[in-house]
Structure 1
Amino acid sequence: MILLNSNAEHIFWLGRYLTRTQYLCSIFPFQEDEAARDYAHAFCLPAFDASSLNELVLDPQQSSSFISQFQYAQNNILDLRGVLSAQGYAELNKLIQNASENAGYICDVAADCQEVLSAESEAVFLFFSLGQCVEDLDRQFRLNQDARLTMDKIKHLAAALTAVGWDGLIEVLSELETAPCSVQLYQFSDHIQTMFEADA
């Protein structure tokens, strides 16, 4: 299956938003003020302790809230109607409806959406996985977490993307491997964005 760059970009960002939501689900609610401050500082969120951060991520008016992040994912899913399999799209729509009707289901639905997408075509799963890895790296660098496993995964993805014509990705990735930090990740992400925009 050959994807248009615009569709590949939607799939990539879907991977990022779902991964972001799932991680937040895994650590919510925040219990310790210090951990909450570290998280808020890393993501530039206006919170100063566990209580204020918990309130923020539950506030639908905040762009970093569960509801907002899931809404971004939902928008990307709706843009993929002609790309995903009929069964996959129907399953995702049902999951989205459940989460829209009850925000308490968002964490469960985010994991279920990932499972559905994992069963899609190889091309879809490739860009979805790329989005997951970039999101994981972004968080790991911000929070000083171990990124070695994610770096190994992204090397395999870069090789697969090079095989389908994504030139220059391995070279940019080698710079990220040499200096694994947010600055180099931004350059890597910029290269990915340039590839999405090519021949758009």
Structure 2
Amino acid sequence: MVLLSSSAQHIYWLGRYLFRIGHVASHLPFSTDQQAAEFAQALSLQIDDAENLNQFMLAKAQPYSLLSQLEIARDNIQELRGLLTAEAYAEINYLIKNTPSDALAIQQVVEECCSILKAEQEEIFLFFDIGQAVEQIDTYFRFYQNIDHVIEAVDFKVKRLFSLGWNDLRPSWEILKTEPYLNQFYAFTYKLENQFEVQA
């Protein structure tokens, strides 16, 4: 199977959005203002108390809320209508469209969507998996966690792209592995996301 670069890009971003949504949902509800303020700061949100952050994340009207992010994920799904199996497309659409404003339910929807996509063709899941891996690294940078083990864990996934002819990624990935800093990460993601245009 040969994926169109535009399809690969939509799958990649779907992976990123679902990881991000699942990660934030797993921390809700916040019980202390300090915990909420630190979390919001890592996401570049100007919110400094638990009640407001909890409400913000579950409000449909907020463009950066979890439900709004799920809608963006669903937009990516719409672009994959002819690529995913009819069952997978319908099921993911249904799950996202009917997600209640509840953190635990959102986590379950994300997990179910990931399971459905894992059962799709290998190349589809590869780009989804790459998206999840990139967002995981981004998350670790945002929350000042040690990213060495994360990079090590996703190394084999990135290397699978080389076998598809994406060898231009190799230098920036190797630099990130030896110098795991934010600038190197941005250089890698810029190169990766540029590849979708190059491969078009």
TM-score, normalised to structure 1, is 0.92
User: Separation in 1 of the partners of 2:97 and 2:52?
Assistant: 29
The separation in 1 between residues aligned to 2:170 and 2:114, in whole angstroms, is: 26
Question: Is 1:92–1:113's contact at 8 Å kept on the other side of the alignment?
Answer: yes
Q: CA deviation at 1:199?
A: 4.5
Query: Which residue is 1:70 aligned to?
Result: 70
- Equivalent-residue separation in structure 1 for 2:125 and 2:41 (angstroms): 32
Show the counterpart of 2:145.
145
Offset at 1:110? 1.4
Task: Note the 1:35-46 alignment, pairs <5 A.
Answer: 35-46=35-46
Residues in 2 aligned to 1:179 and 1:64: alpha-carbon distance in whole angstroms: 31
Instruction: Write the letter of the residue equivalent to 1:36.
Output: A
Aligned residue runs from structure 1 range 26-105, under 5 A: 26-99=26-99, 102-104=100-102, 105=105
Offset from partner CA, 1:80-111 (integer Å, 9 cap, x none): 01111222212212223322xx3334332111
CA contact (8 A) 1:18 1:110 kept: yes
Find the counterpart in structure 2 of residue 21 from structure 1. 21
Tell whether 2:132 aligns with 1:156: no
Contact 1:172 1:187 in 2 (8 A): yes
Deviations 1:20-39 (A, max 9, x none): 11111110011122221221
Structure 1: segments with no counterpart, 5+ residues: none
Q: Which residue of 2 aligns with 1:190?
A: 190
Q: Is the 8 A contact 1:142 1:182 kept in 2?
A: no
Rounded to whole Å, the distance in 2 between the matches of 1:184 and 1:60 is 35
Secondary structure at 2:26 match in 1 = helix
| Distance in 1, Cα, partners of 2:157 & 2:113 | 21
AA aligned to 1:75 is D
Q: CA RMSD in A?
A: 1.5
Asked whether the equivalents of residues 71 and 96 of structure 2 are also in contact (C-alpha less than 8 Å), the reply is no
User: 1:16 deviation in Å?
Assistant: 0.6
1:2 is aligned to 2
Of 164-173 and 126-135, the range deviating more from structure 2: 164-173
- Are 2:177 and 1:180 equivalent residues in the alignment? no
Q: How high is the sequence identity, in percent, across the aligned residues?
A: 39
Matched-pair contact (CA < 8 Å) for 2:22–2:106: no
Alpha-carbon separation, structure 2, partners of 1:39 and 1:182: 18
Amino acid at match of 1:114: C
Q: Any gaps of 5 or more consecutive residues in structure 2? A: none
Aligned residue-pair number: 198
CA contact (8 A) 2:58 2:101 kept: no
Q: For the residues of structure 2 that align with 1:74 and 1:173, how far apart are their CA atoms?
A: 29
- The residue identity in structure 2 corresponding to 1:30 is F
Residue 71 of structure 2 aligns to which amino acid in structure 1? Q
In 1: Cα distance, 2:181 partner to 2:43 partner: 15
Q: Deviations over 1:5-30 (max 9, x none)?
A: 00000000000111111111110011
